[in-house]
A and B are shown apart, each in its own frame.
Chain A
């Protein structure tokens, strides 16, 4: 099979090209027919002696078979591009029909001396473009033979020639040997060189096209790899659990690179164990080593997981194909390793940061808790009776200590919140359930003050994707505030409902002391407390509403406050049911 054929068969691109060219050929023929008809019409007036009638017959014949070709094309059009054969046959038929029509045309316009003899070049070029190189050369050879035959016939039998209007300037006079042979050889060379040039150019173009296809395919593959890598990094960015992050990395890395398995080992106290693995058998994971024979692993590549000079561990890729990894792959695999290392380090840093704050909270609270418990013990008479005056002092100590505890708690809470970067919830939060829990939690405090605490939840509250801790901070601070600033026998009402299907409306109203209007602008400033609040209770840090405001800002919510001094306050918070990507379509 010729190279041209192979190329046509192999590449869908060229198959499509053949399909398109076959139709283009039919269209081109209409132009030729129109041109020939126009010329014949003009000649009818200019040279009445010319054989215009046979010419018209020829034109009608070509038009007729072109109509047939058009119908054939319409039928072939629905054939899948992979089926090349019918199009090849169709192209050959067209070329042969045109060759016959052309020869008839030559005969009518002066035989071997027709000035249209030179038009053979178009035929050869078209055959070169449309057919395989072999077919093109066969057609060209055939043309040369026909011309030789025509010359011989005209010379020996005196084939009748049309009138001399069309006398070819190249081939004037009688065709005598050896002059005629010389002319014929030039003609033959002209035809064959044209065929050669056309097929060579076409082949060279196809080779280039093939290379282009290869490059484009390679680009497509690396684009797909990079897209998957991007998705992996995106997924890793949304995680704040180290194990989940490593599992995502090993799973995606194996899928992207097409290897059988992937593992991560971290340099920690469990350094001998796989921290995460994908595609490895339970047995290997348990033994912490790969049984390459049993697993059919033929190649392995391990790369360090490091961020700058900090070595975190290693990531290994296992392939069933021997010599799977080459130098080029190393660049891409290193990219995966670096991105994974960066993800691990980011989570580690976050963990260290939040652990530091958690430990700081613990260390600050420990001595305070001990003092608190000792005071409690004294006050409750565990070490003997306490006088009323002593009890009162101990009570004061307890209150102040508790305030100090609250202050530490709130400060650390704000510190923690401001250092956290990831607030997106991964699990849906049931607000109704959360509020029920908080109401239960605060019920004893309400009972102490004889306050009626009620919770009213609408039935259509959806679960929302948000950081549950943020919602907890928001609700618990507002509930605790309401209970704190409501006198005994008062009322605190909590209500949650949906607003336009996109937002949740949380409302907490109390029959408390109220907020002076002039204090409203300062309400969310750190350590601010209204005069009346200070007078009512010293038990307040001035940080609760700061926490509320910051939580609400992260939740992208809004707040409205209505308050009447001495009658009560109503806080109304509105926040979307999910982060931007998890919003219902209508709410985006």
Chain B
């Protein structure tokens, strides 16, 4: 069998070094390599060799050619964990029976993105007997499988997909996906109708224009008018419905909405034209009505599609619950899908897993990482009878949890739900645009009426013509079409940077922003300490033996954040020294770690921890910390200090650059921190921030008060639970990764990783976008003022007004598209 393996000439391209697995691309851990039959191939495990062989056997070796090596997925080493796919509850929920022996299932496969994915997944029937058909949908990241349940189990299919590198997941958002699809189809139908009517009325209006200039028999003209009227009917009474709905909703809520001037324009022009047709007047504007609806629908469609993309990305970001849980039934544990979990069930939470539900610990104790929930970085210890929130990460050992509220009912579940619904249409069509629309409608109506009155002396027909010209020439496109397109482009671009925009405030208000406040720990700084100095008492040199004692002591308490830093620092310096054996190692909370060593009949007590505790009141023997903002950790032997480590919370590498960029633009930069004032001042000094802007020792409420007391618009960038009030108080709140729960709810913008760097990018990008928005509005205001005044002066006939309006709409469309797409590509 193996000798028939076709030798792929591309293997060497795929595999430049032999330290990576030919199939999964993972690094091969020392000595574990499994040789393939081909000398060029090497695998990390037998499983990968099997898949590689299988792919070639079925003539699917092309996979290695097509795949995008940059994003190889990591296979889970735990073996089959898809048992829950065969659970009745799972099948009931996700599998449809097509006929007696044929079933269909739709699964989510996060991360499929390239031709190789499509190809290999759609070849699945060749690889796995029992699967009859597969169809990939890259837009949704899903796959539809048809299979014969009597021949192959769903868990086997899942296992095969996983071994190919595509880990399937149940489609939790099936309903939302269907809803989105329905919306998209509905809008596409309207768009198509609008396009057809616009095209056909325009062709007829070309003949009419010709007739206006060179004369036309009335019977033809009126016939053309009637035909145009008939064509325009489906456009006005079907395609344009979304605008009427928006306008009506705005009216009912007594709030100006951008759909109001649009609806007014459409209906007014349409009924004027109907009147002209019926009474045999000269001009009709059916083609402008249809073109307007068509162009505006394009804007709506682009916006809806981009938002749908953001939502599906967000829901992927939010799937951090385990998909299956171990439920206790009798004395045994069985694996069930998360959906089958009920309140009152006892479940086992393994180390490295997140708690799937809010609940109470029934058995066992462990440390939990709650950083995702609260921003608190230190592990929290829990024991029996204590509450565990859903989403908490189990760091240490398995425990039994009694579920109290599950999934979406849990605290974090509710928040995630909000997050997925966050970028709705209403939030993207912004306050500014809507209030401008209000003024727009009123101004145009008043001016039109005034024009009518002013021209009344020349006769009612002429005065009426002037009023019509004013209404027709005014174009709401810069308000209605431009911003959604620009915002869609910006959202897409931001998403590619891992930034979720909930609204457009940053782009609209960027120019007015006078201050940017940062939280310190975790925002300006990495939140991880770095050893900046290692000193001895005066006149002594560093003995390697001391470092090895540090190693021995710290390995006893590896979960402490400082311990981790010190360990890696020491390991870098002592490679071949083994740590001495210490007994009675214990960690004293708030002080440090202590251990005893027996050597040559004597007992030495080694301590590592805070200075005052370690030296037991002895003198520091000439040691002075180089900076009062540094944290000092001391190693002592029987109370005599040996080593002093100075540690410091390090700045993000990009922080300085971002701060400079902000100040260059005249934006004041401030620090609001709950940390000690000395530490804050030190950071401020490093960044060149004036002392009066560096506030330390603040309570959450004081942070908000600081922001409230400043003049002008401000941004606050923060991450922790203590930043919520400030995020809300600032004009624009930007939340960073670590405090997901609080930030998602309260921030306008959420940056998922790499905070400072991405913030810098976003800031410069926002400059471009806000300029573009302004340019659009300015050009459009100029056009509207010019057009309306000419119309009022009687220079513009209604027909010419309709032409001008169409040109204006088109120019807005193209300039917005250009800004939103062309320029974003360049900057990325």
A and B from one complex:
no
Binding site for A on B (CB under 8 A): none
- Residues on A facing B (Cβ under 8 Å): none
